[in-house]
A and B are shown apart, each in its own frame.
Chain A
Amino acid sequence: MKQDDAHISWVEPPKLGLSGRMYLPLLAQGLTTTARHLFSQKVTTQFPEQRPEIGNPLIYRGVHRLNKDAGGRVKCVACFLCATACPAHCIDIIGTESPWDDREKYPESFTIDELRCIYCGMCEEACPVDAIELTSMFDLTGRSREEMIFDKEKLLSVYDQTKDAEPSRSQRAASEGATT
């Protein structure tokens, strides 16, 4: 692109007044601004004593959970849609024939590598049976990489921990249907 291109519009910088050219008044103005902020309200949250407030836990993307149905069985039908949708390839499912009559398959093992996961929520979008969901748990820590690979039991236990605070999508739909 040439410098005299008609598409370039040259913007003139604003002309400085005398006080701007003398610097000192403007510098003093800058100092008063920062000095005012010295005594302003602080916004720091003192984690872990003070938990941050999560705006809407239902749309927060934290640790995954595997939902259970009313009978306490895992809802997942091992359709692999979440593993296919996952951009980080962190979901590993081994599906096998279901022992129950109402579905053909169920996951024999279901592991998510929480360190590879990028918490995009695509698995939740992809799931046809609302089995996998992202909770609002965000302070996920572990002492080893192995510990951070969540298997089926752990994912189900996350559901047990969070089901009261964050009902699953189908539960919400059911309760909404009941009230209206």
Chain B
Amino acid sequence: MLLEALIKIAILIGGLMTAAAYLVLVERWMAAWIQGRIGPNRVGVPLTRIRLFGLGQPIADGLKFILKEEYVPAHVDKWLYYLAPMAILTAALAAFAVIPFGSVLPPDVSFPGGEEPIQLVVAPGIDVGMLYVFALSSMAIYGVTLGGWASNNKYSFLGGLRSSAQLIAYEIPLGLGILGVVLMTGSLRLEEIIGAQAQSGLWFAFSQPLGLLVFSVAACAEAGRLPFDLPEAEQELVGGYHTEYAGMKLMMYLVGEFLHMITAAFLIVILFFGGWHLWGVTGSSNDVNWFQAIARILVLVTKILLVVLLFMLVRWSWPRFRFDQLMALAWKVMLPLGLVHLFTMAVLSEYAERWAGGAAPWVIVGVGWLVAVAACLVAGTLTAVSTGNQAIRE
């Protein structure tokens, strides 16, 4: 039991760290390709001329971070300065305790403890799974805020302040976005949410487009990705809250940020795109053979990769929000949209079966899309986030 958990943790942390390192490379590739460049393609096998399309770049980056001078400015608040990056990385990694990275492995009696099917989640059976992820993502605020404050630098501090305001504001739409899913499945456990979508074959992205919109915008803001990267807006704040960090401590920040993006991608896939489920390939029950078990992991990873690629594409496509626009988007657009979504889903989950009987899923899909389009139209007509661009005359 303990051994099983330890193995899972080792696999997960190893996988996540590698994924974060290589996603940095992918992000640089994407940036280069979009800008008509080639991107990193030089670093391959060390001491040889083999280049491997630059796949050695993450190792070189890591080495560089490790070998950098461990520089601590004299004016910082030492304790919190050291604590902050640890807090952010710990919180980002601990969130994966309840996030499934596959479905189950079939029972295999050839090794001890293999009689039961193995759940591919570090801590199976945590009933508050989704809330636990929220709790840890809210703990990540501390890393950012304290790092900004402890650096004793105006730019860092402004970055920390912006970040805490932004994260608090977007936690509410984040919660509202998932509530529709939770209402429909009746559980906060991520495994059960995937299971419900696999059973019905109807991913929540199809029936709850408004929830998907609200959740992905909020998740993007929580991860601090462009167009929501105000806490580290280079043009205004040098490096934002990690201006004064270097070496491994900076790397902890950067990896933590990437892990937030990966968490967001995991959650979007699990909540709205059926997790490991793919029609006709993965099956839908918990009795799996080895082919299905592997296929489920691959399907999940592919979906997550696609979402991450979309995040990266977004980063190089859209300009950054101004801070008042950011807040207006959270409180005046996303919050009402989330409430409309919650209300719609509450009514549908209660009455769709009663009114439509067997056609209930289609009613839910139809009403869901109708409400989503209508709400977006109304939001666009009533509130334009981009107002206030005009110069103010005395």
Contacts and interface: CB of A to CB of B under 8 A. Distances in A.
Q: Do A and B come from one complex?
A: yes
A50 to B, nearest CB: 11
Interface in A1-60: 3-4, 10, 13, 16, 18-24, 27, 30-31, 33-35, 37-44, 46
A3 B393 contact: yes
Contacts of B200: none
A1 to B, nearest CB: 12
Contact of B384 (A16, A30, A35): A16
- Of the listed residues A13, A38, A40, A42, the one surrounded by the most CB atoms of chain B closer than 10 A to its CB is A38
Interface in B142-157: none
Interface of A: 3-4, 10, 13, 16, 18-24, 27, 30-31, 33-35, 37-44, 46
A41 B36 contact: yes
Interface residues of B, number: 26
B329 to A, nearest CB: 9
Q: Interface SS of chain B: helix, strand, loop or mixed?
A: loop
A34 B38 contact: no
Interface in B366-385: 376-377, 379-381, 384-385
B309 to A, nearest CB: 10
9 contacts: A18-B377, A18-B381, A20-B386, A27-B317, A34-B34, A37-B33, A38-B30, A44-B36, A44-B38
B82 interface: no
B36 A21 contact: no
Given A37-B34, A40-B36, A44-B38, A18 B389 contact: no
Contact of B36 (A27, A30, A42): A42
Nearest to A17: B380
B165 interface: no
Contacts of A13: 389-390
A63 B280 CA distance: 67
B49 to A, nearest CB: 11
A22 B379 contact: yes
Contacts of B391: 10
Which 7 A-B pairs rank lowest in CB-CB distance, beginning with the nearest?
Answer: A22-B380, A21-B380, A34-B317, A44-B38, A30-B317, A21-B384, A3-B394
A31 B314 contact: yes
Contacts of A42: 33, 36-38
A19 B385 CA distance: 13
A38 B34 contact: yes
B372 to A, nearest CB: 10
B323 to A, nearest CB: 17
B60 to A, nearest CB: 18
B35 interface: yes
Contacts of B317: 27, 30-31, 33-34
B318 interface: yes
B206 interface: no
Contacts of A22: 376-377, 379-380
B37 A34 contact: no
Given A3-B393, A37-B35, 7 more contacts: A3-B394, A16-B384, A19-B380, A27-B318, A30-B317, A33-B317, A38-B30
Contacts of B379: 22
